[in-house]
Every structure is written in structure tokens, then in C-alpha cells.
Structure 1
């Protein structure tokens, strides 16, 4: 039976690139989990999983770890997910029967869902839900045994539309600087984690910042509509989204958000414009029925996210179901004008006084040493560094984890110290730890030439007074 209306070989190349790239994003996500979980949510972590699952029922946060948790089991799931993702990057999904390929993609989704649903504050980022929603749709995209189903390709465009259009709307409805085109006078400096080129972006002439902001509005509010137009217009729209996302990759560190958005855009490209598609068979009946059922489910679940898009009280980065099947997205409805950073210090002196010598802990990604050029870490996600940015905005963001973090520094906890770039107490843990809030700004060109510093900082107030183990 030829379901010409249901599947199209024109997208065989797009599907191939999409699946390989999505598997690569999964690989980074699982590696991030495997390398950081012990200090964050492990048995002796700042927010232990067992404590969370004891108070949150399975139905509210479905996860394998409700059944059983140990650090060894979590590590096995994370490293197992990384291995499976690597196999899919290498094309394993096309080397097995269709049903097995679907099970492989479903296993990736289930493993990462299990991690996100017990990750608590550390996994409260929009790109976690975006990866899960994208990964769920990828289960039903098929492999080389069948032409790509048009309905799933449509759902991927619907997802990309919500990501971009939602981000555009939240800006227009939020900070006035988006409407007067001045937000990028501040954003490159005050964004959560600047990259190695952020200083240069910040120092662009202000008229170029206006152009940047206006172009962002076009890319997020006008271009996504074109995703639903006939080819090759939809391919051009996808290309414009890719270019915009690469600009964001160059100017900052947003974990895998930009890369995953690029992956979604690639699924909208008509591969037949690049290479002649092979003659792929129509999908089997059971697969077609399953795709239709999933499409109906996603459309029903899309009602609340669609209403959210139209609401004046639009929420961003919110999941409407515990499986993260259909979510709402958005970023930077408000842009900070001033950058504040928490600087964590320790001393081996038992009493703090005016002459106490404090030594500073160094973080991998967030600004600290003013002479240190910001690094490029994305798509790898430095969860502690990101949460330090939120904590500097308000102590409320740090209420659940900052005190445990300090306690582990005082204990010299090895897993916690591995999250940092520099431990000033390599031989023995400090007697006291404190945290201070500083105002950071990028240096001017003249200051940069004279001092070699990328940042200038001035103290604001104490964030945490000198603290010792009780």
C-alpha cells in the first residue's frame, strides 16, 4: 500500500542528519549527568535523589529511580544512555529493524526522563524539556526501512515554531528594552554565562546592537510562520533560524538550547534540494496507525501550550504533563542591566577578622578572576555555574542548595570540588567559608589594553557570612 500522503522520501537526508545530530545532543546530556550527578543529586549530594523520591510520588515525576536509587545505578543509567546515544550517532538505528530502532530511541527518552524528573533545581531548565519533547517525537520518525512520516515532520515544525515564536512573544510582552531595541546594550554582559567572544559582542557599536535586536524579532516572530509554507520557502526559513542560532552560539553559552534548535530546523529542510532521495518503501500499517495516534495525542496536549502563547500572562519553560511531551518555551523576558556575581572564598584561619587572608574558589564557566577570558562550554552544561548566576539575582534561588554546597567545601568533598576549576585548599579543607556579592562589568577597550583584564569588579555586600562546620 503506497501512502504517498503519509510519508515522503524527500526528507530522507533531513531525517538522517536530524537523527544523528539529536543523538549527539543526547550524548552530551548524558555525559553531563554522569560527570556531575554525585555532587548535585547523589546519595551525598546537595539535593539527594532518595530524599526527593521519598516526598514526591511516581505519578508526579515518573522515573526509574522511584523503584531504586543508588549512585552506582544512576551512573549505570547515565553511562548506558551515553553509550546508546553514541551508537545512534554511528547509525545503529538504521542497521536494525524498524521496531528495534524505535525501542532504542524510546529507551533514550525514558532514561533521560528518569534523570530530569528527579533532577530538581539542577534540571529546571527549558532545554531539558525541549530535549525530551524532541526525543519523544524522534521515536516515531522511522529509519531507513521506511520513508519519513509527514505527520511527525509536521509535529517537529510545530515544536520549532513554539520554541521560536514563544521566545519572541515573551520578549515583546516583557522588558521594554526589547521594544525600544536596547536590550543587547546589556545582554552580552549580563547573560548567565558569557563566552570567549561575548566581550567583543558587547563592545560592538550601539547601532549594531539595535540591528541585532531587530533581527532577533524577525527571526523569532516572522520567520517561524514560514515553516508551514511550501518548499523551498520552509527550507529558507529553517536556514535563517540556523544562522540566528549560530549567532547565539558564538555570543554566549546556553548549554544545548541553540544546538537543539538547529537540529529541529534541519528537520524542516527538504533534502531533495541537496541530493536525489532513494526510493524508500511506505511505512507498515502498524507504524502508520501508531504515528496517527501519537499525532492526535500531541495535538490534544498542544491546547494548553497554544493558549499559553496567546495569553498576556505567558509562562515560559513550563511543562504541562509529567512526561514533558508538549511544553512551552521562552527566554529573557527580562534582561538585567547590571551583572552581579557571587565570589566564594575560604580561609584556614579559625577566626575571621580584618586581617584574615581569604582565598577564592574558581568556577569553570562563571566569571571569577577578572583576567580570565570566559570559556566556551556549550553544549556541555555547567549546572552549578548556571545556578550561581540565578543565586546572584536573588538568594531565593539558592535557598535549597547553597548551604549544602558550602558545607561540602568545608568538608573538602571530592565530588563537589570536581565541579570547580580551582580549589585553593588542595591539602586540607578550609576552616571557614564565606561568599560575597560583587558587581561585574566588562572592561572598556582602554582598560583592557592597560590591565589585561576582561572584567572589572567592585564589592557590593556579603552574601554569606563566614561559616564553619557545626
Structure 2
């Protein structure tokens, strides 16, 4: 079937596949390096406890069959290894069916991780990676031309990512309609990057222009993805430029990068395809069947996207095959941060020596400049931002984190930039305090060298010690 194939997008497929495989590597490395403290056997939200109360059909995962920290680590590093092989192009050296199986492996492994990840894996880019990764299984290798229907479904994902985000903004916070959200966003975003301070201090008219351009890119440009070339390529290229601007302005894990990879699949890149044999009938039938399934599953996400009660980042099936996306439907005007401190004093007092724990990415020391971490995802740092918005976001894990800090738990401390206590001398008490943070002005930066100014607001957690530990007088 000639209409089934799009040989002109052979190079686009190649770039898309290598980019997606690289993001899989990042995701698996993130999981392997952080899981023990977050959801391991002694983690803050242990996987064994979760699978005991959650049926398999609600959250399909290999870890329903067996869980140990060693097995989880093996799955994560295996996923990293397979993904690295895909980056290197191993799928191009295999028969078509074997290449499809190879692409299926990281999807199955990462699905198993996400479905037991609980709060730590509740971000929209987790489902986005799974939805895109599932389609990649059916995109083919050097034995076949890229299937038109799969390329169309990739554009359908990109459309939902951008258009859904645009709609949630227009329906949500009034500052998006007034073009004023960027007066606050760069300062209050979850994890600022090294250039965020400078973005915040851009002239306000430029901020208005940025918001207006964002509305155009998210609400008008996505429609052009389904128009003939070169309009579709131009639309995708504009989205790529917008995403690169967002990469510079903050740390959003791999959300921007996977959107860029998706957009590249819609760009007709130059390059002559190699000689391609005829497309096998079984492959055509399988691709069309999967496409029909995904179109059917798109009903609920499309309905949600058009609803006045639109929700962000929701999966409508346990396999995360078709999801709804969106970000920053509302923008905070004030930045709060939870600062965690410990003391070695037997009896905690206000004048005790309270030492501050330093996190890798979230603001702490006002003089410490933010670093670039994305596409790597600092899960604990992100959740600390939510905890500052409301204690309700921290109810399931914050107490467990404090307990691990009181024990000087090695795996938990590895998630931090620095602990103020030596490994053999854990703190006697931990407390948390809420501070208001704001960016310094140009004059303040020159005078103090600090990019942040912070003001104490209130107690977040009173001094706490391990239960059962006797207090000496």
C-alpha cells in the first residue's frame, strides 16, 4: 500500500528514535539512582506496601510478581542498557520483528516503574514518555518506510501536549489572559535554572510579548501540524524554538526535550532513504490495528481537552496509551520554600545550633545560584516545591523523609547536595520552617552576591526526634 508509507520521513524517524532512546536512558538512570530512598524496601513510599493494596489490573507492573531492591535496580539498569543500544542504532541491525521487540522492552520496564511510582511518578512527562515510547514500537526500522498512520499519531500527541497546555492556561489563571503570568513565573516555577533570574528581570513588555507568542504557539500553530508540507514542518520548527526557550528558562525534567523530539518527527529532514524492501503484510495489519485502538482510546482525552472542567496530566488507561496533558494552569505569585534543619542538642531550643540541609536543585542558601539539571529529574526537590504550596502534598512522605534524616539514612542523604551532620553523628532533632523567597534586584545582587532574598514566615514542622529515643536531661 503506497499510502501506508512515508519514505520522505526516513531521516526524521531516525532522529526521533535516537532522541527518544536517549530520553529513555535519562529516565532509567534517574530511576536507578533515586529509587531506594523514595520507594525501595525502606523508602519513604515502599513499593511492597503499594502492591499489597493495589490490584495488578489497576497498575500493571512486573513488581506485582516480585519485588526486591536488587530486582528493581536490575530492571532500571537493564532498561538503561537496552535504551543505550537503541541510541547506538542496534534496532537498525535487526529484523523488523526483533527491532519492535527491542523497542517494547524499555516501554514495558518503564511502565512497570511508573505504575508503582506513586507520588514520585505523578508527573505528566512520565505518561508522555510511555505514550510516545509505545508508538515508537510500531515506527519500524531500516527494513520499512515510516508508516504514515504512526507519524500522524505522533503529531496527534504533539497536538494534545501543546493545545491542551494552551487551553488550560486560557481557562485557568487570569494572568494568562492578561499576559502578566511571566511577571511571576520565572521566580515561582518549581525549579529555577541558572538563567531564570535573568529571565525574570527582562522588561515587562517583553514578558507580555512572550505570553502572547506562547498563546499563538500553543493554540494556533498545532493545527498546522495536520496541513500539507512545508506548513507542517514550519509549525513543528516553531514549536522546537519555543521549547528551546523554555529549556533555557528553567528545569522541567525531560518535558521540553520529549516535546522537541516529538516535533522533530513532524519535520521533513533532508536525506535520501536507503533501498527499502516491500512492507510485510503482517506489519501493515498490526500497525493499522494498533492505530485503530489508539484512535478509540483518544475519545476521553479529547473530551477532557474540550471540557470546561479540563484536568491536566491524566491517564485514562492503566497502560498510559493515550493521556491528557497540560502545565501551569495557575501561576503562584509568591515563592515559598520549606527549609529543613537539624540540631545535635538533646533539648532543642530556638537558640540551638540549627544546621540546614542543602538540596541539589531547589532554592536554599540565598547565595547559591541555581544549576541546570534537566532533563535529569530531581524527584524529591520537585515534591519539596509542592510541599511548600501546601502540607497536603507532603502528607504521604514528609514524615518518612524526616525519619530517614534522623537516622542519617545513606540512600536518603544521597538525594541531597549536602548533609550538615557527619555519617556517624545523626541529628537529635529535625525541624522545618517555611520561608518566602524572592529574586534580588540587580543592585542587591551586586551588593550581596545573593540571587535570593528570603524571609521567615512560620514553623512548618516543630522539632521532631525518633520515636522511642530517650531524651537525656
Pick the TM interval, shorter chain. Answer: over 0.9
Match of 1:6 among 4, 7, 12: 4
1:270 is paired with a residue whose SS is coil
Which of 346, 349, 363 aligns to 2:345? It is: 349
Which residue in the other structure is 1:160 paired with? 158
Count residues with an aligned counterpart.
466
The answer to whether the 8 Å contact 1:34/1:78 transfers is yes
Moved over 6 A (4+): none
Residue equivalent to 1:393:
389
1:277 to 257, 273, 279: 273
Contact 1:7–1:282, Cα closer than 8 Å, also in 2: no
State the partner residue of 2:370. 374
Which of residues 24, 43, 51 is equivalent to 2:22?
Answer: 24
CA-CA distance at 1:282 after TM superposition: 3.3
Give the whole-Å Cα distance in 1 for the aligned partners of 2:264 and 2:442: 39
1:287 is matched with 283
Give how far 1:4 is off. 1.1
- Structure 2 CA distance for aligned equivalents of residues 355 and 77 of structure 1: 48
Q: Partner of 1:217 in structure 2?
A: 215
Q: Of residues 82, 96, 99 in structure 2, which corresponds to 1:98?
A: 96
CA RMSD of aligned residues (A): 0.6
Give a deviation string over 1:186-229, Cα, whole Å, max 9, x none. 00000000000000000000000001100110110111100000
Structure 1: give runs of 5+ residues left out of the alignment: none
Answer yes or no: is 1:204 the counterpart of 2:202.
Answer: yes
Distance 1:54 1:249 in 2: 39
Q: In the alignment, which of 60, 76, 79 is matched to residue 78 of structure 1?
A: 76
1:402 and 2:398 correspond: yes
Shift of 1:276: 2.9
How far apart in 2 are the matches of 1:367 and 1:94? 44
Give CA-to-partner distance per residue, 1:248-299, whole Å, 9 cap, x none: 000000000000000000000112xx22333323320000000000000000
The corresponding residue for 2:304 is: 308
TM-score (norm: length of structure 2) = 0.98
The aligned counterpart of 2:133 is 135
**Which consecutive residues of structure 2, in runs of 5 or more, have no partner in the other structure?**
468-473
The corresponding residue for 2:457 is 460
Counterparts of 1:175 and 1:355, CA distance in 2: 42
Deviations 1:162-208 (A, max 9, x none): 00000000000000000000000000000000000000000000000
Which position in structure 2 is the counterpart of 1:252? 250
The DSSP-based 3-state class of the residue aligned with 1:118 is coil
SS state at 1:210 partner: helix
**Equivalence for 2:113:** 115
In the alignment, which residue of structure 2 is the partner of 1:443? 440
Q: Deviations over 1:121-175 (max 9, x none)?
A: 0000000000000000000000000000000000000000000000000000000
Structure 2 SS opposite 1:5: helix
Offset from partner CA, 1:358-384 (integer Å, 9 cap, x none): 000000000001001100000000000
Match of 1:183 in 2: 181
